[in-house]
Amino acid sequence: MLSTHYAVTGNVAVISLDHPPVNGLALAARQGLLRDVTRALESSEIGSIVLTGNGRIFSAGADITEFGTPDALAEPSLRTLIEALEDAPKPVVAAIDGVCFGGGLELALGAHYRVAAAAARIALPEVKLGLVPGAGGTQRLPRVLGLRAAADMITDGAARTAAVLAELPGQKLLDLVVDTDVESAAVRFAESLGNSVPLPRIRDLTVDRDEDLAPLRATLAKRGRGLRAPLVALDLVEQARGPFSDGTSAERAAFTQLVDDGQSAGLRHAFFAERAAQNVPGVTKDTTARTVSKVAVVGAGTMGTGIAMNFLNAGIPVALSESSREALLRGVATIRRTYEAQVEKGRLAYTAFVDRMSLLETSLEYADLASCDLVIEAVFEDMDVKRAVFTELDAVMKPGAILASNTSTLDIDLIAEFTRRPSDVVGLHFFSPANVMSLLEIVRPKKVSDEVLATALEVARRIGKVPVVAGVCDGFIGNRMLARYRRAADDLLEAGASPGQIDSAIEQFGYAMGPYRASDLSGGDIGWAVRKRQYLENPDVRRNEIADELCEMGRFGQKTGAGWYDYEDGRRDAVPSPVVAELLASYYQRNGIRPQSYSAESIVQRLVFSLVDEGARILEEGIALRASDIDVVYIAGYGFPRYRGGPMYYAETVGLSTVEAALRADGIEPAPLLVELARDGRTFD
């Protein structure tokens, strides 16, 4: 089946792509397009061609699922198709609506003219998949936007609206931007062209805005943390200064190389994993999500304020509730300050700030929340306080309202039982800072209804979070694995590795921050308070002597100017600390330990394989629905390098038997599931 429609309006052939779900340019779509373009060129009735999408989306680009299959290499290739458009003797107008990404934009760049809806989202997102545009994008975009604007767009991969792109000085990307129906506007545009020749071809243009790309290169090298594609893309953009054919040959070679690169495979895994995470047993197309038009947040502390901002940002009214007037005022001030800082940095328009604040209501009475559709509790992490809050909420909230808890450690099954409506109670575990971090663990208590889960997934989508459903256990998916990872780091520390060695090994691996720098950033006192509670509750629990001693010295991290590292003059640069070196030396001496030295590789193995081992247990217990969900949690919430695909995927690339052997060598009995899969030569999913 060919995935296009051919229609004629006057003397204009309108060729529309119709290849669900996102008009990916798979072989059938390419064949359909070429057939229709040929037909229009051969017809004497046709004077010009309009190329359009399905009204909702122009095209999301190459079909990613086709990569690595024979279809990807079959003719017509995307390049052949683009050449056919560009060489066409009749004017070709691309009518861009909805999404125009990757190969979709490259296709539009092959047209002679482009008409776009103002709200259309336009991007070359290939770097997000570890790739570079492979069908002329790196050579044509700089010729219509200038070197720097094109380089920014290609190396960050982010979407810009047509309205924004049309404002770029001297841009030749868009010939017309409309607020009305783009297809009719494009037809009128095509009709107005008459027989005008010669037809403009982007490949014939030269780059007229030739800016210095060295500063961008320096930024990318620093921020990339080992990701190759953006730097390769930048090299290619630089080549747009030279002949078009040299640039496209270089682009083709780079694309072919990157498609087979492990980084791209990891990023593609992450892309599909995020989408798979939204398939939840029990939630089908027929499960109706409840309407959520107003949200209440109880507790305006660190988390409550961040959570509230997610909804305000999405235009959803919030009632913020507290137990005292002071705490409420403090919470509102935090929200206001956060937005004001964004306005000052030029990241938020003043009018948007005013709009968001106008959606915020405050309350000191539960009764005020009664009409909200969803209430998220973010009060102290104490079961008695949660009980009091949920009992009150149960009494006042309207029937059908969803009662959610942001607890990180408490048993949500128990919390649900504080109410007479356990099927309406769910865990919504946000990550700090909640207005920034993209992960949302949706914790599924035993009695929660499928409808409530469907609503939670829908809410996550509306506020732009990456949701993963987790079962109830201590720490859910993410924090439970984090505890193992931290324990593995501390084991290495106790055996002779320094915080600097451990951090730098894991940062080389691609993490934004190693465990000790991260602890200094968030504050060592938080973990210390938890440990002290554990020591009281269970005198046999293994003590973390080194970390405790550090906290006893008042070294809580950046906020006290000293932690695992020293921070001089209030700066954020972590400087190795002689005090910590001394503390470690005395620990080794006291315990008769001969400090061992570890290679960066063995440190990474120790830390990452403990994540994998705990992940396998989580999978075995059904706390995670699939291994790729665990990958999503670790990438979106814990800084695991996305191009490595997440810990479970990474373990598969290394080989599960290698992981098993390494764990055993460290004296760890691996999870039974891991042993079984390694024995059978299978993978997690």
Shortest Cβ distance from residue 441 to ligand NAI (Å)?
A: 9
Q: How many residues bind ligand 3HC (CB under 6 A)?
A: 25
If the CB atoms of residues 48 and 310 are measured against ligand NAI, the closer one turns out to be 310
Element counts in the chain: helices (H) and strands (E): 29, 19
How big is the CA angle at 561 (ends 555 and 565), to the nearest 5 degrees?
65
If the CB atoms of residues 133 and 471 are measured against ligand 3HC, the closer one turns out to be 133
If the CB atoms of residues 62 and 378 are measured against ligand NAI, the closer one turns out to be 378
Shortest Cβ distance from residue 516 to ligand NAI (Å)?
A: 18
Shortest Cβ distance from residue 478 to ligand NAI (Å)?
A: 10
Stretch that binds ligand 3HC, among 17-25, 506-514, 582-590, 614-622 (CB under 6 A): 17-25
**Terminal Cα-to-Cα distance of the chain (whole angstroms):** 31
How big is the CA angle at 110 (ends 104 and 115), to the nearest 5 degrees?
75
- Token readout for 446 is 């035993």
Stretch that binds ligand NAI, among 18-26, 226-234, 252-260, 427-435 (CB under 6 A): 427-435
Shortest Cβ distance from residue 587 to ligand 3HC (Å)?
A: 49
Question: Is the Cα torsion angle 636, 640, 643, 647 positive or negative in sign?
Answer: negative
- Token readout for 219 is 């930024």
If the CB atoms of residues 48 and 479 are measured against ligand NAI, the closer one turns out to be 479
**285 φ, ψ to 5°?**
-60, -25
Question: Counting contacts by CB under 6 A, is residue 300 touching ligand NAI?
Answer: yes
Rounded Cα distance between 336 and 604, Å, is: 41
If the CB atoms of residues 23 and 321 are measured against ligand 3HC, the closer one turns out to be 23
Residues in contact with ligand 3HC, shown as a per-residue x/- string from 248 to 287 under the rule CB under 6 A: ------------------------x--x------------
DSSP state of 641: -
Q: Identify the residue among 190, 379, 404, 428 touching ligand NAI (CB under 6 A).
A: 379
Residues in contact with ligand 3HC, shown as a per-residue x/- string from 98 to 137 under the rule CB under 6 A: -x-xxx--x------------------xx--x-x-xxx-x
Question: Counting contacts by CB under 6 A, is residue 378 touching ligand NAI?
Answer: yes
Picking from 195, 198, 137, 142, the residue whose alpha carbon sits closest to that of residue 172 is 142
Q: Count of CB atoms within 10 A of residue 548's CB?
A: 16
Are 301 and 327 within 8 A, CB to CB?
Answer: yes
Question: Counting contacts by CB under 6 A, is residue 22 touching ligand 3HC?
Answer: yes
Are 605 and 614 within 8 A, CB to CB?
Answer: no
Q: Which of ligand 3HC, ligand NAI, none does 298 bind, CB closer than 5 to 8 A by kind?
A: ligand NAI
Q: Count of CB atoms within 10 A of residue 17's CB?
A: 23
Q: Which of ligand 3HC, ligand NAI, none does 304 bind, CB closer than 5 to 8 A by kind?
A: ligand NAI
- Token readout for 574 is 């972590």
Q: Chain centroid to CA 541: how far?
A: 37
Q: Which of ligand NAI, ligand 3HC, none does 350 bind, CB closer than 5 to 8 A by kind?
A: none
Q: Identify the residue among 210, 211, 381, 685 touching ligand NAI (CB under 6 A).
A: 381
Helices 627-638 and 600-620: crossing angle in degrees, nearest 10, is 130
Picking from 182, 187, 179, the residue whose alpha carbon sits closest to that of residue 7 is 187
Catalytic residue among 42, 66, 106, 211: 106
Question: Is the Cα torsion angle 21, 23, 25, 27 positive or negative in sign?
Answer: positive
Is 75 noted as a catalytic residue in this protein? Answer: no
Q: How many residues bind ligand NAI (CB under 6 A)?
A: 24
If the CB atoms of residues 274 and 660 are measured against ligand 3HC, the closer one turns out to be 274
If the CB atoms of residues 458 and 614 are measured against ligand 3HC, the closer one turns out to be 458
304 Cβ contact partners less than 8 Å away, ≥ 6 residues apart = 297, 298, 320, 331, 376, 378, 379, 406
Q: Count of CB atoms within 10 A of residue 161's CB?
A: 16
Residues in contact with ligand NAI, shown as a per-residue x/- string from 135 to 174 under the rule CB under 6 A: ----------------------------------------
Are 96 and 116 within 8 A, CB to CB?
Answer: yes
Give percent helix, percent strand, percent coil of the chain, each to the nearest 5. Answer: 50, 15, 35
If the CB atoms of residues 129 and 320 are measured against ligand 3HC, the closer one turns out to be 129
Stretch that binds ligand NAI, among 58-66, 165-173, 379-387, 415-423 (CB under 6 A): 379-387
Paired with 4 in beta bridges are 17
**251 φ, ψ to 5°?**
-65, -45
- Token readout for 72 is 């990807």
Catalytic residue among 66, 83, 126, 494: 126
Q: Count of CB atoms within 10 A of residue 464's CB?
A: 11
Q: Identify the residue among 27, 37, 78, 147 touching ligand 3HC (CB under 6 A).
A: 78
If the CB atoms of residues 41 and 327 are measured against ligand NAI, the closer one turns out to be 327
Stretch that binds ligand 3HC, among 62-70, 170-178, 223-231, 606-614 (CB under 6 A): 62-70
Q: Identify the residue among 115, 120, 123, 303 touching ligand NAI (CB under 6 A).
A: 303
The H or E element containing residue 429 is strand 425-430
Q: Which of ligand 3HC, ligand NAI, none does 563 bind, CB closer than 5 to 8 A by kind?
A: none
Rounded Cα distance between 617 and 674, Å, is: 8
Question: Counting contacts by CB under 6 A, is residue 59 touching ligand NAI?
Answer: no
If the CB atoms of residues 84 and 388 are measured against ligand NAI, the closer one turns out to be 388
Burial category of 341 from C-beta neighbours within 10 Å (exposed 0-12, middle 13-18, buried 19 and up) = exposed
- Token readout for 569 is 């003059």
Is 494 noted as a catalytic residue in this protein? Answer: no
Q: List contacts with ligand 3HC (CB under 6 A).
A: 21-22, 24, 60-65, 78, 99, 101-103, 106, 125-126, 129, 131, 133-135, 137, 272, 275
Residues annotated as catalytic (active site), given as ranges: 106, 126
Q: List contacts with ligand NAI (CB under 6 A).
A: 298-304, 321-323, 327, 378-381, 385, 388-389, 406-408, 430-432
